[in-house]
């Protein structure tokens, strides 16, 4: 190896040692902004969110929303259901952070929760019960009114009970079969929903 080659490589190595690692590199990690406040709504209520006393938005049932643009630190957060029957907080929540909204424990709030949940489940699945009614009509059965009571365990699995004076066994079997296929919210604790279905 020539003297010129040795001097050239030595200069390049010295220059590399003097250059700060990562300085000016395009892949250098940038400063990350705070992610914000994440609210997980684990209830069947549509809720309004107030941060620092100011209404900041709303969250649909069983949805998660991220509220951005908040400074790091603690913020006073208050959440209320759409009709004001149930509320959470006010509570000091750290940003960035997450707050899980779970079903309330009080008796009245639980009744409101179950009523709201029953209404939502029935509206979403009513057409499957109507399909049973149409089959019954083809068999020549009279119009019927049914009371459905559904016990849902902590894992969201239902036990269906159906009552009605004019219900045939075949209609009850159909109602039961379709109600067992519905999707029930998993709240972490058992609950009961009941509603009337009229043909």
- Per the structure, the count of domains in the chain is 2
pLDDT in tens, 56-108: 999 988 889 999 999 999 999 999 887 666 789 899 999 999 999 987 776 56
3-state secondary structure of 66: strand
Domain presence at residue 135: yes
44: closest CA among 58, 60, 66? Answer: 60
Q: What is the mean pLDDT of residues 112-125?
A: 82
- Terminal Cα distance for the chain, rounded: 98
Q: What is the pTM of this model?
A: 0.51
Res. 26 pLDDT band, cuts 50 70 90: very low
The reply to whether 111 and 87 lie within a common domain is no
CATH number at 48 reads 2.60.40.1120
Check residue 108 and give its pLDDT: 64
Percent residues over pLDDT 70 in the chain = 75
């Amino acid at each position: 190896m020539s003297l010129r080659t040795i001097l050239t490589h030595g200069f390049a190595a010295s220059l590399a040692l003097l250059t700060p690692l990562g300085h000016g590199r395009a892949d250098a990690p940038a400063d990350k902004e705070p992610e914000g406040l994440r609210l997980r709504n684990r209830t069947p209520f549509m809720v309004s969110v107030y941060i620092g006393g100011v209404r900041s938005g709303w969250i649909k049932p069983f949805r998660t929303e991220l509220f951005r643009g908040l400074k790091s630190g603690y913020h006073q957060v208050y959440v209320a259901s759409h009709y004001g029957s149930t509320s959470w907080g006010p509570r000091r929540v750290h940003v960035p952070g997450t707050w899980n909204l779970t079903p309330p424990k009080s008796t009245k709030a639980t009744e409101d929760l179950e009523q709201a949940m029953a209404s939502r489940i029935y509206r979403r699945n009513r057409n499957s019960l109507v399909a049973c009614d149409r089959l019954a009509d083809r068999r020549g059965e009279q119009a019927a009114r049914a009371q459905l009571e559904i016990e849902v365990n902590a894992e969201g699995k239902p036990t269906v009970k159906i009552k009605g004076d004019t219900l045939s066994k075949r209609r009850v079997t159909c109602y039961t079969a379709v109600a067992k296929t519905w999707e029930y919210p998993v709240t972490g604790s058992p609950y009961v929903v009941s509603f009337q279905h009229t043909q």
